Amino acid sequence: MVQRTRDLPGTSRYVTTDGVTLHVRAVGPEDGPLAVLLHGFPEFWYGWRHQLDALAGAGYRVLIPDQRGYNLSDKPEGTSAYRVDRLVEDVVGLLDDAGAETARVVGHDWGAMVAWCLALDRPGRVERLGILNVPHPAAFGETLREDWRQGLRSWYAGFFQLPRVPERVLRAREFELLTRALTDGSRPGTFSEVDLARYRTAWGRPGALTAMLNWYRANGLRSDLFDRRGRVSVPTLVLWGARDTALVRENAARSVEYCDDADLVLFEDATHWLQHEKPEAVNGHLVEFLD
């Protein structure tokens, strides 16, 4: 399988941080203010492809890493390598490599969880925080305990805790379940066959599935992730697709309550895959907010 991305904006480079080497897609003027986009499961940097031209056109130097374990980045062994504090330090390392004290940071799914924790643990490194469809860690913990619907929707996270079996299941029939996670959970036509082929290439890289699942294994309910009740002090924008099949909408408003300065924009007809389905609207909100 060949992952052809030369038709997309930007160039690829590699950055070593916290003992791992990350593949990073870079776009926009080198002297522009820094924006870092963090993807989630089961994507890679390509998940932000619809945002590249808009942010670069607004003058930002945009860095989009394949986060550790994904696609072309290193895939260290062991679940402890994927604890959220290590993932946060990866982003800090990207900023250090770029010579930037601060950055605008935007995350989706697990990338949003890393962004939340970066703003909580290292607020001096975050100028503005953009969040797409993942709640503040404490807000999610509360919702999980209080709303049975969230427990049902999070069943797969429990399955992912098992050793080896999830890898076999997800790899079966050319990654059918991962493919369906994208296509069945989004509006029809959101992901093209070209898109899906690129994702399958990323998922098929040696060690990728285990590394991707280790994010869940390292940061499950028995970790301290969902006990992080700190408040976010940096300006925050939460964009939320209300038809998310994995996360109930109450997570969004509850997350804003943990922020000192936050706005929430709900997209009633969008799903978890918001930046794919509503790229123009998402781009408009991000460009206006990050400025």
Burial environment of residue 77 by CB neighbours within 10 A (0 to 12, 13 to 18, 19 or more): exposed
d(CA 149, CA 74): 36
Q: Sign (positive/negative) of CA torsion 11, 15, 21, 22?
A: negative
* Residue given tokens 């991962």 in the structure block: 178
d(CA 291, CA 153): 35
DSSP assignment letter at 231: P
User: Which among 23, 272, 276, 285 is annotated as catalytic?
Assistant: 272
Question: Is 109 a residue of the active site?
Answer: yes
Question: Is 39 a residue of the active site?
Answer: no
User: Which among 46, 60, 199, 216 is annotated as catalytic?
Assistant: 216
Angle at 130 between CA 181 and CA 97, to 5 degrees: 100
Mapped onto helix, strand or coil, the DSSP state of residue 162 is coil
For 72, list phi and psi in degrees, rounded to 5.
Answer: -95, 0
Question: Is 285 a residue of the active site?
Answer: no
Closest residue by Cα to residue 18 from 72, 63, 64, 67: 67
* Residue given tokens 């990350």 in the structure block: 22
Residue 268 makes CB contacts below 8 A (sequence gap 6+) with: 242, 243
Residue 289 makes CB contacts below 8 A (sequence gap 6+) with: 128, 130, 235, 237, 263
User: Which among 66, 74, 90, 109 is annotated as catalytic?
Assistant: 109
In degrees to the nearest 10, what's the CA dihedral of 91, 94, 100, 106? -50
As annotated, the active-site residues are 109, 216, 272
